[in-house]
A and B are shown apart, each in its own frame.
Chain A
Amino acid sequence: MSGNTGTSSHQSKKVVTKDDWVKKLEDVKIDKNDLNKLIMNYFVIEGYKDAAETFSQECGLLPSIDVDSIQDRMNIRNAIQNGNVEEAIERVNDLNPEILDTNPKLYFHLQQQRLIEYIREGKIAEALEFAQDELAPRGEENPEFLEELERTMALLAFDDTTVSPVGDLLHPSQRQRTASELNAAILTSQSQEKDPKLPNMLKMLFWAQDELDEKVLFPKMKNLVTAELVEGNNNNNNTTNSGNNFLST
């Protein structure tokens, strides 16, 4: 194919005006109840207990799960994010003692997090004892854990952890990772989905806009907070980025 195919196809793009587009959008019938369910699903899975309760009263929709269990999950998440792994373990065992007995990888990650917290607090003797008593046997049972264990132990080799190649383990994102893994396991055990539906649907929206953009000029949604329709050509990278920004907040 010759190089000018792109421009010629660009010139032949069909154009849809904003008015026509809005009209078309209005023709699509969407059940309000479905939209409410979508939002409730987001609140429940992401753990916005108060929002779920208020929303439930407003639209008369029952959450798919009892709201107390959202609180349970949030307490567990908070415990890990505050560095209190032991409390998180006790809470999850109260909630469902099967979770950690049937999920060795998750259990290892929680113990690893405990080790990280000891090191963070400078409790070196405790850290060494804990690694030997609790983590080493897990490594023996499951060789795939050994590498991660060694990486964690490497934290002890550096006085200044900020220059350590394994310094990321002390970063808040490590706690978040552990907390999310635990949260997902709890949700699975409660017959809940691990991920809310809404972010995926928004990803699909941007994907569909990009696909359509190849053939048609139409007003696009670029900012999800305002949901404003913007006319004119724009490049695809921007739209994708704005989508990701929304998802990570």
Chain B
Amino acid sequence: MNSLKHNQAVDELNSSDPAVRVKALRFIKNNIIGNKTKKDLYIQLNVIPKLVKFLKSKDTVDSQVQIQAAIVLGSFAYGGEENVTEIAKHDAIKPLLECISLQNDPRLIEAAARALKAIYKCPTADKNDIFADHHLRDLITLLNPDSLHPKTDRERIASVHTAELAATIIARCCDTNEQQIQIASAGAFPALVKLLTCGFSKAQEAALDALAYLCRENPEFGKAIVETKSETSDSPVKIMLNLIQDKSSTMRLIAAKCLTHLSRANAIGEYSNDITLIVLPTLVKLLDEKGPVREEAPHVLAYLIRDNEELQKAACDSDAVPKLADFVTHVVDQESSYYDPVGDGDKLKENALMALAAISSLTDDGRKLVVEAKIIPHIVAAMSHRSYGIRAAACQCTRSLSRSINILRTSLVDAGVATPLFKLLSDESTDVQATACATLCNLVLDFSPMKKTIMELGGIEKLVELVRSPDNTLRLNAIWALKNLVYQAESDVKEAVMKVLTYQTMENLISDQEIVEVQEQALNLLRNLACTKPIDIEEVFKGLSENKLMNIIENKLCWWNENEEIIKQVLYVINNIASGYERHKTAIMNRPTILTRILNYMGHDNPEIRVIAVWVLINLLWTEDKSASSQVRVQKLRDLGFEDKVKNMTNDENLDVRERVKTVLNQFSQV
């Protein structure tokens, strides 16, 4: 490329004549806009520090020079992540933020805000600067177009555009709860709600987007937004329900997204019917659109219906599944988009799979529809896709489907899901590995025809490898899968698992330092190992030694442990041991601390815990024969106050507890 003229333009930036500088800046601007190659060229020619210098020297530099410099920086930022890194490296963000302060030329404010928008569009951009000093307050001020005191029509439109840019920047800077709080306390809600009715669709869209991200997973802010007074007589939700019927599909999507986030934040209140009757059908209809709207609609849909059985049923009643299935099977045309130049079919496929996973996560109706759409082979194929997002989403889909025993035994087996899923356990992305592990949990249960395949592929070895991962989710899902693998399994399966895992590792997991859920699953594994047959209990006694086993139980039942899930699992372990041979029962009887804790748990607030505690007692009282040792055991339990305790429980509010109590009293009376 002939770079002479470009070198010359860079040289001219050093001129002392503002007119020459402006001319050079305009030349650079018109070369780099839309042109990645030229952006890279000028960055290599080290233009950024010069631009930063122009922005910083407020009083000595012509305002046109500053405006053009800000525009050039903004255009660099549109060139992708590495350009944004380059901009941040030269400390350009802070001077740009200084430029949006109200005393500056409105055209400079607009240009700087535009550059900031482009920079913050990049997910890896550092967002700390915006929360420093007065910048957030400046930004909120700009949300009100009147702040810039526009006089002519042109100025009025420019000030609305600046408000739009400010709202977009805000939308991109609320990734964390802390950021949401700072933006809200700077007064964003009233200003954004006001912008909702400004009549300029782009600004309205930006305001909706900002409100959506401010209330994401935040019930307090959801409520605050819903209760914000608007300038019209309509409430913010009512305004959004109007905007969701707009002619522009982009507006409809963003309004649906905002209402979805409010709904997820439990802030929608009296309008909850409108979520089912308006928001959900709108999202389904948007699947017929093109480009970025169609791409994002399934993503919002998935989020809306996640964990909500009623909405999943409503989605089943719409024609969402066939439409989504189409995106999964067909390679879609690559619509280039206005917002995202790199947008492509991959994202659509990923989002469609996520939506299908959500629709089929809680109801058999949803799963049936997915099967009827005949896309399971495509879902299985997608588990080997080059995009990790698609692999994870396809895996999630399989996971939802595998919750139906029927589908697990038929369609999923036919599609040969085990092998590709097993491969994902070694995926380069931890997210994919964790999802694969979670999916595997359903496939290794005893009734699954794929259990054998997975074990033959080396599933135990792989899961044991993952159980040692430093990633919490991965470790949790791996121990979960191992626990399921030994659930109601034959003794040889249990033996095979423990040979690889080792009792020592299980012991470590039972006292996992990072997350208590791992402890819970590890205890559940112990419970499953010691289940069904006395010979299996014997194995556990051998594996850990009686002393160690009892110490683990005693430690977990210490008085300060208030985690009910842990208490339940430990009680189940005791219960399984108590159902074993005489010597197993004796092991428990030899531990007075454990017995006292069991007695205490019979008065626990949680009826489930009371039931298990009583079950332990039933098993301890159970005798095959009238041997001397069993006589002694009953007497000891009586002496410890178990019989008196149980007598007081005959009026327990829980039916299950009352029934078990009857059994126990019967047992005591027979001895």
Contact = CB atoms under 8 A, between A and B. Distances in A.
A142 to B, nearest CB: 7
Contact of A144 (B30, B74, B334): B334
A133 interface: yes
A65 B34 contact: no
Interface in A114-151: 129, 133-134, 137, 141-142, 144
The binding surface of chain B is classed by DSSP as helix
Contacts of B334: 144
Contacts of B154: 66, 68-69
Nearest to A67: B153
Interface stretch (B198-206, B316-324, B348-356, B520-528): B198-206
Interface residues of A, number: 30
A137 B37 contact: yes
Nearest to A66: B153
Contacts of A68: 153-154
B458 interface: no
Interface in B28-53: 29-30, 33-37
A93 B33 contact: yes
Interface string B102-130: 00000000010010001000000000000
A6 to B, nearest CB: 35
A103 B247 CA distance: 22
Interface string B324-344: 000000000010101101000
A104 B152 contact: no
Contact of B71 (A66, A97, A107, A190): A97
A66 B150 CA distance: 13
A237 B153 CA distance: 45
B628 interface: no
Contact of B78 (A101, A144, A189): A101
B200 A97 contact: no
B632 interface: no
Contacts of A191: 200-203
B336 A105 contact: yes
Contacts of B74: 97-98, 101
B4 interface: no
A164 interface: no
Nearest to A134: B35
A38 B407 CA distance: 57
A179 interface: no
A68 to B, nearest CB: 6
A185 B338 CA distance: 9
Interface string B292-315: 000000000000000000000000
B152 to A, nearest CB: 7
B36 A137 contact: yes
B33 A133 contact: no
A145 to B, nearest CB: 9
B157 A93 contact: no
A93 B30 contact: yes
Given A65-B157, A133-B1, A102 B36 contact: no
A171 B118 CA distance: 37
Interface in A76-120: 89-90, 93, 97-98, 100-105, 107
B338 A102 contact: yes
Interface residues of B, number: 32
B439 interface: no
Nearest to B203: A191
Contacts of A188: 338
Contacts of B2: 129, 133
Classify the secondary structure of A's interface with B: helix
A97 B341 CA distance: 15
Interface string A38-66: 00000000000000000000000000011
Given A93-B29, A97-B29, A97-B33, A190 B336 contact: no
Contacts of B157: 65-66, 69, 190
B75 interface: yes
Nearest to A103: B338
A103 B34 CA distance: 8
A133 B26 CA distance: 20
Contacts of A93: 29-30, 33
Contacts of B1: 133
A100 B78 CA distance: 10
B146 to A, nearest CB: 17
B30 A89 contact: yes
A69 B161 CA distance: 14
Nearest to B200: A191
A63 to B, nearest CB: 8
A107 B75 CA distance: 14
A208 B268 CA distance: 41
A54 B628 CA distance: 113
Contacts of B338: 102-103, 185, 188
Contacts of B341: 102-104
B34 A141 contact: no
A165 to B, nearest CB: 24
Given A66-B157, A98-B114, A103-B338, 6 more contacts: A68-B154, A97-B33, A100-B34, A101-B33, A104-B34, A137-B36
Interface of B: 1-2, 26, 29-30, 33-37, 71, 74-75, 78, 111, 114, 118, 152-154, 156-157, 200-203, 247, 334, 336, 338-339, 341
12 contacts: A67-B153, A89-B33, A97-B111, A100-B33, A100-B34, A101-B78, A101-B118, A107-B34, A129-B2, A133-B1, A141-B36, A144-B334
